[in-house]
Amino acid sequence: MSTLKDILYKVPIDAVTGNTSVAVNVICFDSRNVSLNDVFVAIKGTEADGHAYIKGAIEKGAVAIICEEMPSDIVNGVTYVQVTDTHAALAVMAANYYGNPSADLRMVGITGTNGKTTIATLLYQLFRKAGYKVGLISTVKILVDKEEYKATHTTPDPLTINYYLDLMTRAGVEYCFMEVSSHGIAQKRTEGLQFAGGVFTNLSHDHLDYHHTFAEYRDVKKSFFDHLPKTAFALTNIDDKNGIVMIQNTVAKKITYALKSYANYRAKILENQFNGLLLKIGENEVWVKLIGRFNAYNMLAIYATAELLGLEELEILRLLSELESVKGRFQYFISERKVTVIVDYSHTPDSLKNVLETINSIRTGNEELITVVGCGGDRDKTKRPVMAAIASELSTRAIFTSDNPRSEDPEAIIRDMEKGVEPLNFKKTLAITDRRQAIKAACQMAEENDIILIAGKGHETYQEIKGVRKDFDDFRIAGEMMKELHK
C-alpha cells in the first residue's frame, strides 16, 4: 500500500485536514466503487457533482478525500485534502500510483477531429513491423504489445490510462501511441503523462454540445500542445487553418507537415485509385494501400512521427507501403453481384464529405452511390442537418437511419437530419429508422457496379437504443444481406 503523501507528489495542495501519512489502498473517483482504506476524489462532472458523494464514500470505507471544496461536516479520522482542480489532481495521483510509467515509454499523443485512430493504429503497426514492442490506446482497442483489451473511451480516465501504461512497461514496450480526444483534454485525463511528442491532424465541426463554441473546442485542443515539455515535438498539419494556432504557445519543438503549404514534411499525391495512393514524400515515391486525400495527410503524419522518433527514412517508406487499413475505416468488400460495400466511421460532417468525395473521385461511370447514414443521440445536434445535406448532395441516393440513438427518439433524430436537405435533393432521400432494414434496402437497390457506403459506426459491434446495447455490426450485416439476396 502507498501512503497518501506519496500519491500526492507534485499535486498543488490548497489545504489539508488530517494526516497525509495514512496508507491508502486504491484511488477511486466513483463512490460506488469505494472499499475499505481507499482515497476518494470528488469530481464535478457533467451530470453529477462528486462532492455530493463524499459522505457515501466515507461510509464505504474511504480514509482520505480529495476535493475542491471542504465539506462542512468533517469526519474524525478521515484526511481531507483541498485542491483547485480535482480532475488534474486525479491525473497526477494516478501517474504517481502506478510509478509514472509514461516516463519509461516514448509516448506520442494524437489529437484532432478526424484521423486519430487511423494514425495511432498505423503507427502501432509500423513500429511493430520495425521490430519494437509497442502499445496503443485507441477508440477501437487497447494493445499492450500483442495483448488486446477492450476500449470503452477514445481517451480513458487517468487511472485506466496509467494502469495500461504500467502493463506496457512491465511487458517491455518502448513506444506508445495514444489518441487524445477533446473530452480527454478538457477533463485533464492526460495530465501527469510525459509525452515525447504530440500530433495535430485537423479541426472541424464536432462535439459542440460539450464545448459550446468552435473557439472553445479549438482552445481545448491547443491546450494539449501548450502542456508538452521542451523535450517533445509538436507536429502539426499547417494546411488546416488551425494548424499554426495549435503550436503557437508550445515550448516543444515545432514541426509542420502539409500537402499544399510549405512545411518541414511535404507530400504530393501522384495517383489516387481504389486500391491505393501513390505518394511522393520528400524525394521518394511510395505506394500505400489506403485511399483518399485525407489518408495522404495521415500517411505523412505517420512518416514524420516515425522519423522524429528516430527511424530511418527508407525503412519508414518500406513499412508505410505494408500498412493495412484500420477496422471500420474504409473497410470494404465486393459482393458476388459486383456491388462494392464500404463501411466507414465517418460521423462528422468533414469526414463524411471527405469519404464521399473520395468515392466520387474514383467512380468510373454512371454507377449509383447509395449512402446509409444516421447521427448519434445525446451528442452534438447541430451536426445532423449538415451531415444529411452532405450525404444527399454527394450521393445518388441517401438512406437516413439510426446510428446510436442512446436516450433519444430515433425518428426525431432523423427529422433533425432531414431539415438540412436541399429541396432539390429531397427526392434522393429515404428514411428507414431500423438500421438493419436500411442496410437491407440499400443492398436490394444496388445493381452491378454500384457502391454502398454505410457511414457512422465503423468498427462498432453494438447499437445503443434506449440505454440498451445490442449486437450490431455494419460490415457483418451487409455481408449477410448480400449473401441472402443471392440465394
Ligand X SMILES: Nc1ncnc2c1ncn2[C@@H]1O[C@H](COP(=O)(O)OP(=O)(O)OP(=O)(O)O)[C@@H](O)[C@H]1O
Ligand Y SMILES: CC(=O)N[C@H]1[C@@H](OP(=O)(O)OP(=O)(O)OC[C@H]2O[C@@H](n3ccc(=O)[nH]c3=O)[C@H](O)[C@@H]2O)O[C@H](CO)[C@@H](O)[C@@H]1O[C@H](C)C(=O)N[C@@H](C)C(=O)N[C@H](CCC(=O)O)C(=O)O
Ligand Z SMILES: N[C@H](CCC[C@H](N)C(=O)O)C(=O)O
Residues marked as binding for meso-2,6-diaminopimelate?
379, 403-406, 456, 460
- Residue 353 interacts with Mg ion (CB under 5 A)? no
Q: How far is the CB of 153 from ligand Z (least distance, A)?
A: 8
257-264, long-range: CB < 8 A, 24+ apart: 257/297, 257/300, 257/301, 257/304, 258/300, 259/293, 259/296, 259/297, 259/300, 263/238, 264/304
- Residue 48 interacts with ligand Y (CB under 6 A)? yes
DSSP class of 469:
E
Q: How far apart are CA 55 and CA 75, in angstroms?
A: 9
Which of 100, 346, 371, 429 is close enough to bind ligand X by CB under 6 A? Answer: 346
Stretch that binds ligand Z, among 235-243, 262-270, 354-362, 452-460 (CB under 6 A): 452-460
- Residue 376 interacts with ligand Y (CB under 6 A)? no
Enter the C-alpha cell of residue 8: 500526492
- Residue 240 interacts with ligand X (CB under 6 A)? no
- 347's contact among ligand Z, ligand Y, Mg ion, none, with CB below 5 to 8 A by partner kind, is ligand Z
- Residue 345 interacts with ligand X (CB under 6 A)? yes
| Range 221-246 burial, b when 16+ CB lie within 10 A, else e | bbbbbebbeeebbbbbbbbbebbebb
Q: How far is the CB of 67 from ligand Y (least distance, A)?
A: 12
Query: By C-beta, is 47 or 336 nearer to ligand Y?
Result: 47
- Residue 154 interacts with ligand X (CB under 6 A)? yes
Annotate each residue in 131-150 with x if it binds ligand X (CB under 6 A) or - if it does not, as one string.
--------x-----------
Q: How far is the CB of 457 from ligand Z (least distance, A)?
A: 5
* C-beta separation of 116 from 154 below 8 A: yes
Report strand pairing: 106-111 vs 253-258: unpaired
- Residue 47 interacts with ligand Y (CB under 6 A)? yes
Placement of cell 492526460 in the chain: 190
H helices present in 261-382, as ranges? 293-308, 313-320, 349-362
Which residue, judged by CB position, is nearest to ligand Y in the bound state? 45
- Residue 79 interacts with Mg ion (CB under 5 A)? no
Placement of cell 515550448 in the chain: 251
- Residue 182 interacts with Mg ion (CB under 5 A)? no
Enter the C-alpha cell of residue 150: 477492450
Placement of cell 504500467 in the chain: 166
Given the rule CB under 6 A, which residues bind ligand X? 114-118, 139, 154, 179, 181, 201-202, 294, 297-298, 329, 344-346, 350-351, 354-355, 458
Given the rule CB under 5 A, which residues bind Mg ion? 116-117, 139, 154, 179
